Amino acid sequence: MKITSFKVRNYKAIKQAEIDFGAYNIVIGKNDVGKSSLLEAIDLLLNFDTPVKSGFHKHDEGNNIILQCEFDGLSDTIEKNLTEEYLKGDEFIITVRHESAGGRTPSSVYINGQELDSGAVKIGDEELTESDSREHIQNQLPETVPVLAERDYNSETSLTRNSWLTRLMSPVFSSDTLDETKREVREELEEQSEDIRISLNEVISSQHPHINDVKIDIGEVDLKKSISPDIKVMGDNLEKWMSLSERGSGVGNQFILSMMKSYADSQYGDGYSVLYEEPESSLHPSAVREMGKTLRSVSDQGNQVIITTHSQSLINSHESGSLIVASNDDGEADFKVVDDDGFEAIEAIGAKNSDILQSDYVLYTEGASDAAVVEVICRNEFEDWGSLNVTIQPAGGGNLQHQLENMKQINRNSGILIDSDRETEGGALGEQSQILKDKCKEIKLDHWILTRREIENYFHSDAIREELSGDEISMRHYDEAEAILIRECNYGDGKVQNARKIAERMYEEGLDDEFSDLKTKVEDIFEGA
């Protein structure tokens, strides 16, 4: 099950908010606007945990904390065991209400609006108590895998309490083989200590007549405490194995992600929820993009990923979910989906020119779907795409003509890909396209113009049919492709995701020749990057 909608009331920085989620989600915003509070609230609900007293909004315990999750359906187990009064078709909404009472925070759980009570869950002929019903429901919810911003890769790669290495090695410490080894060690220690005890007892009894016996208690045999693993890595640029602690914090943060994924995959299979704070920490922009790819792969395996960040480098990796802007006005957090507005996203994270200047080149596109398609082409055409320090950024809404100078100010190494809006082959550019072209020449901004009318005119009909519709959709190079797709195939419902899926399908099916002249433009654009 995945979260489709999450509501929060009166938790920490969040007075009231409602957020829709996809499979892969990036929550962006400046520091201290409520991003961490959101992840904490999700973790609280999915684990039916109790918030600390300081968790009440503005420390006002007079207002109850209310958390609500709507999921994309019920698990087979829940549907089978939940009694009829709690079932509403495929709808599955969990609400948890926390109130403050005498220093305690009692909670109430509601399923589809009905308060959970004894008999809510029935397994066979047995009706479970309210407490057992709650536990049963919670066990069916997605497991959470939180990765906090305040992480220390040295601690996470040692056998400290709840470290990722400890979690990874937990099967070793609980194995029958280790238990047998512990028994053998204990027996040996007890045998040796008995010999010592007898010898010691003879001496002590002769010197201290009031002491008539001595016992040596071995105590707990904890083999874990005697183990000090040192994770070492080997790479192309290393002549010998090097301890992870000797590498930079960037490598350490990437390793934390690897350990998290390895643990979650082995323990939960799929269907877990990753709640990752600031994955970009200590990473170069190109490494951030690689981190984004890894997190997307986690999502592609059937898991839900929710990231918080204030990194502009991660904005372009939201293709299979949502880009959510977090803001805060007078202490009240707010969340807004801005998939198609790249400039609003840049503004939301408080990006300065210097932040985006970390990119060697910034390519702007007219819309987010254009950016999605270009990125697919780049990933498939550039073998070293992950190492290229470039950014593909949708320009977003507003008057694009007036945004062009801003683009050049953000990064002098930048350019824009423009729709032609031609109505016929060799015909004149559309009015708006001509205006943009002239403006780019005036301010000396790199620009490229699509040969075909718009990005959707490059889509192959077979890929459109397979991804969006069973009907044959045929478009010529200068038809109003986007409008046709919206009308005939509901292309507008998740346009960015649909554009990406179609482009990826074209590569999968060997239909990418349709992108031929677009590939040439992309190669020209990034030649110097």
Mean pLDDT (the chain) is: 79
For 144-188, how does the pLDDT look when each residue is reduced to its tens digit (9 = 90+)?
Answer: 888 876 666 566 666 666 676 777 776 666 666 667 777 788 788
Q: What is the pLDDT, as a whole number, of residue 353?
A: 44
pTM higher than 0.85, yes or no? no
CB 129 within 8 A of CB 118: yes
Largest pairwise CA distance in the chain: 114
Q: Domains of the chain, with CATH numbers?
A: 3-150+254-337 (3.40.50.300), 158-230 (no CATH), 352-525 (no CATH)
Q: What is the Cα–Cα distance from 475 to 189, expressed in whole angstroms?
A: 81
Which residues on neighbouring strands pair with residue 394, listed in sequence order?
365
Confidence of residue 347 (pLDDT cuts 50, 70, 90): low
Higher pLDDT, 191 or 431: 431
Instruction: Please report, as a single letter, which amino acid is at residue 459.
Output: F
Q: What is the pLDDT, as a whole number, of residue 468?
A: 85
pLDDT exceeds cutoff 60 at 104: no
For 6-47, how does the pLDDT look when each residue is reduced to its tens digit (9 = 90+)?
Answer: 999 999 888 899 999 988 888 887 777 888 899 999 999 999
Q: Work out whether the CA dihedral 262, 267, 268, 269 comes out positive or negative.
A: positive
Task: Please tell me the least confidently modeled range out of 61-75, 310-324, 409-423, 442-456.
Answer: 310-324
Listed as own residue / partner, the contacts of 492-495 with beta carbons closer than 8 Å and 24 or more positions apart are 495/340, 495/368, 495/369
For 213-252, how does the pLDDT look when each residue is reduced to its tens digit (9 = 90+)?
Answer: 777 777 777 766 666 666 676 766 666 676 665 555 556 6
How many whole angstroms from its chain centre is CA 270?
14
Where are the strands (E) in 278-369, listed by range?
304-309, 321-329, 332-337, 361-365
Cβ partners under 8 Å of residue 138, min gap 6:
46, 47, 48
Mapped onto helix, strand or coil, the DSSP state of residue 404 is helix
Cβ partners under 8 Å of residue 301, min gap 6:
265, 270
pLDDT exceeds cutoff 90 at 329: no
